[in-house]
A and B are shown apart, each in its own frame.
Chain A
Amino acid sequence: MVKVDGRGDESALIRARGLGKTYRRGGEEIHVLQGLNLDVDAGEFIAFMGPSGSGKTTLLNLLGGLDVPSAGSVTVAGDEITRMSARKLTSWRSRHVGFVFQMYNLIPVLTAFQNVELPLLLTSLSKAQRRQHVETALDVVGLSDRMHHYPRQLSGGQEQRVGIARAIVADPTFLLCDEPTGDLDRKSADEALDLIDRLVREFGKTALMVTHDPLAAERAHVVLHLQKGVLVDTVTMGRAR
């Protein structure tokens, strides 16, 4: 279930209440988010849409603990992350969130393998265990044969799949994808979307994706629109899970 009216109960995996974000530019205050509510159950796949500057990235940053809100709260799996210290939040991110970025954001001097391994360096896994996890993740995204390639030796679509492998390798609670297909051609975009779709259906992941692409949004179970600082127009796509 996904709700935006603030009436969801305790069972939701992700819960935002009265979320507000205000930026101050010069003397002027810009209220990007204002009193936003959201409840997301585990296993959902949500697409956020909205015009440029409507606050989609801002919302993902708040849900992923990259930024702190001006008002309201975010609770994930019972932990109110908006009350955590910066240090606690950092370690919380490493355990619960997998980020997929539009620009892939791979480290160019590390191989695909090493890029995917990064989140695992923060765990107590042994070298052999890390290797196994990385190989599994790269296998899921279909890049086992590109393990030792550097990002510049990969196509954009392949780079994004490495990015997705990095996001899932530590088995996070949910995925946050900010325009994951924004820089990809149709075919690569579809492959990346297939992958996210599969992660949700096969592996039971929860995915929150920002996109401008209606075809991409169609893949999600639910499409939410950001308007005047809140989420509206819930359109349940009625897809079988």
Chain B
Amino acid sequence: MKYVPLVLSNLFRKKTRTALTSGSFAVALFLFGILAVVDGAFQQGVDVAGVDRLVVLNRVSIIQPLPLAYRDRLLRIPGVTHVTFANWFGGVYQDERNFFPQFAVDRETYRQMFTEFIVPDDQWQGFQTDKEGAIVGEALAERFKWKIGDRIPIKGTIFAGTWEFNIRGIYRGRRVQDDTTQLWFRWDYLDERKAFGKGWVGWYTARIANPDDAVRLVKVIDEQFANSPAETKTDTEKAFAASFVKQMGNIQLLIMSVGSVVFFTLLLVTGNTMAIAVRERTRELAVLKAVGFSDRFVLMLVIAETMVVAVVGGGVGLGLAKLFTLRGDPTGGLLPFFYLASDDIALGLGLALAVGLAAGVLPALSASRLRVVDALRRV
């Protein structure tokens, strides 16, 4: 503790320089924060995927349907405990820019399958008894200021016509990451009203008794429907979400590349600045050693100075990123999960510290190797 004034006083020696170096950290870590948020938005589906759920799709493509009859056949497979199904609706509310997902879901089984979504019992009952009923996520309700009892029109793009729904319930997520921007309505209503493809569902979700059994069951299911008119392609929910993200392009690679370049530049800039700072203080550092401070102390002093700059700057950057995300998704619905997780903040601070350490090491080593007599002789 008694060394704190020594570290800090050196940082205040050249205030502009310290501010600029710290500022570089702030900018880099702000960028890191935003990239982490975007990455999180894309990865969110993967992160929240249930480990005990399989997704059963049509082998041909994701938009090809499967017969309703598969439900009972899936349920008969040992190891499968629950089955539900859904359809993608793809409607538009008021304006095409107001994108949010709509699913036609099975009112008997959907809620049991996705326990991360919490719907109060009375609201769910209301949904089950109203053919035009709908359940919406709390983020979605918030966005359009919907309340229970509202009647909202959605224009079909796949299924013609305007569909009106009565909001019967609002679900919330068990975790912050859970997507609460969806609208669910009754699959039987869709099936009854649609003009084509009656008795077909978009995909099935099956719960399995033992997650470790997933690989085997994936095979069993696909073999079950092999050589039929609608062959299946089964995957764990996680693998499915991951492949979905991949179709968007390799976001993570992009983020990694941008991030690496930024941090590498930061490393060079900071390293150079600290090297200059040490060179300017050659004589003072020599005096510290003459007085009896060890080489190791001088090493730690320079590293500590760099780390303080890194952590203060990085903290400011991450704080700004957090503030930015608190204002919500800036794309208007494309990134429903726009949130800077504390894991990412910790990772960011860790990175800032690591860069500070790496940038400080060389100047610190040269400071610690400085020979007192030579340094004092130099004027």
Q: How far is the CA of A114 from the CA of B294 in the complex (A)?
A: 19
Within 8 A of B (CB), among A155-181: 166
Given that A101-B376, A107-B284 are contacting pairs, would A119 and B2 also be in contact in the complex, using a CB cutoff of 8 Å?
no
Nearest A residue to B9 via CB reads A109
What does the 1/0 interface line of A78-95 toward B look like (CB < 8 Å)? 000000001100110111
With contacts A105-B284, A107-B284, A114-B9 taken as known, whether A127 is within 8 angstroms of B2 at the C-beta atoms is yes
Query: Which of chain A's residues has its CB closest to B13's CB?
Result: A109
Q: Which residues of A contact B9 (CB under 8 A)?
A: 107, 109-110, 114
With a cutoff of 8 Å between Cβ atoms, the chain A residues found around residue B106 in the complex are none
CB-CB < 8 A to A109: which residues of B?
A: 9-10, 12-13
Contact B376 A122 (CB under 8 A): no
Against A, the Cβ 8 Å flags (1 = close, 0 = not) of B289-300 are: 111111100000
Decide if B2 touches A90 in the complex (CB within 8 Å).
no
| Complex CA–CA separation, A64 to B6 (angstroms) | 25
The answer to whether B289 touches A90 (Cβ under 8 A) is yes
Which size class do A's interface residues fall under?
20 to 34
Residues from chain B with a CB closer than 8 A to the CB of A71 are none
Contacts of A94 in B (CB 8 A): 291-293
Give every chain B residue within 8 A of A66 (Cβ-Cβ): 290, 372-373, 376
- The reply to whether the CB of A118 lies closer than 8 angstroms to some CB of chain B is yes
Query: Which chain B residue shows the least CB distance to A95?
Result: B292
Compute how far the CA of A93 lies from the CA of B9 in the bound complex, rounded to whole angstroms: 25
| Chain A nearest Cβ from B375, distance in angstroms | 10
Among A90, A101, A107, A127, contact of B292 (Cβ-Cβ < 8 Å): A90
What sequence of 0s and 1s flags, for each residue 94-112 of chain A, a beta carbon within 8 Å of any chain B beta carbon? 1100010101010111100
Q: Which residues of A contact B284 (CB under 8 A)?
A: 105, 107-108
User: Which residues of chain B are near A130, meaning CB under 8 Å?
Assistant: 2
A51-74, CB under 8 A of B: which get 1 and which 0?
000000100010010110000000
Q: Are B291 and A93 in contact (CB under 8 A)?
A: yes
**Cβ of B258 < 8 Å from any Cβ of A?**
no
How far apart are B334's CB and chain A's nearest CB, in angstroms? 50
Inter-subunit contact A114/B291 (CB<8 Å): no
Q: Are B2 and A121 in contact, CB atoms less than 8 angstroms apart?
A: yes
A101–B373 CA distance with the chains assembled, in angstroms: 12
Chain A residues whose C-beta falls within 8 Å of the C-beta of B294 in the assembled complex: 87, 90-91
In Å, the complex CA distance between A110 and B8 comes to 10
Given contacts A66-B373, A109-B9, A114-B5, is CB(A91)–CB(B283) below 8 Å?
Answer: no
How many residue pairs at the A-B interface have CB separations less than 8 Å?
65
What residue of chain A has the Cβ atom nearest to residue B288's Cβ? A118
Residues of A within 8 A of B10 (CB): 109
Give per-residue flags for B8-34: 1 if the beta carbon is below 8 A from chain A beta carbons, else 0: 011011000000000000000000000
Q: What band does the interface of chain B fall in when counting residues whose beta carbon is under 8 Å from A?
A: 20 to 34
What residues on A are CB-neighbors of B144 within 8 Å? Answer: none
Shortest distance from the beta carbon of A147 to any chain B beta carbon, whole Å: 14
Q: How far is the CA of A166 from the CA of B5 in the complex (A)?
A: 17
Q: Which residues on the A side are within 8 Å of B288 (C-beta)?
A: 107, 118
Q: How far is the CA of A103 from the CA of B283 in the complex (A)?
A: 10
A166 touches B376 (CB 8 A): no
Shortest CB-to-CB span from B171 to chain A, Å, is: 58
B283 proximity list for chain A (CB < 8 A): 103, 105
- Asked whether any CB of chain A lies closer than 8 Å to the CB of B287, the reply is yes
Binary A-proximity of B360-374 (CB < 8 A = 1, otherwise 0): 000000000000110
Contact A110–B5 (Cβ < 8 Å): yes
- B3 contacts A by Cβ under 8 Å: yes
* A166 (CB) vs chain B CBs: closest residue: B291
CB of B19, distance to nearest CB on chain A (Å): 16
Measured in the bound complex, the distance between the Cα atoms of B62 and A92 in whole Å is 77
Closest chain B residue to A68, Cβ basis: B373
- The answer to whether A118 and B373 touch (CB under 8 A), given A105-B284, A110-B9, is no
In the bound assembly, the distance between CA atoms of A118 and B301 in angstroms comes to 14
- What sequence of 0s and 1s flags, for each residue 266-309 of chain B, a beta carbon within 8 Å of any chain A beta carbon? 00000000000000000110011111111100000000000000
How far is B12's CA from A56's CA once the two chains are assembled, in angstroms? 37
Q: How far is the CA of A94 from the CA of B297 in the complex (A)?
A: 13
Nearest-neighbour CB distance to chain B for A13, whole angstroms, equals 19
A107 touching B287 in the complex, CB below 8 Å, given contacts A90-B293, A119-B292, A122-B293: yes
Q: Which residues of B contact A (CB under 8 A)?
A: 2-3, 5-6, 9-10, 12-13, 283-284, 287-295, 372-373, 376-377, 379
Contacts A64-B290, A91-B292, A91-B294 aside, 4 further interface pairs with beta carbons under 8 A come to A57-B377, A66-B372, A67-B373, A130-B2
**Interface pairs (12), CB distance under 8 Å:** A64-B290, A66-B373, A67-B373, A86-B295, A87-B295, A90-B292, A93-B292, A103-B379, A105-B284, A108-B284, A109-B13, A114-B5
A-B residue pairs, 3 tightest by C-beta: A94-B292, A109-B9, A105-B287
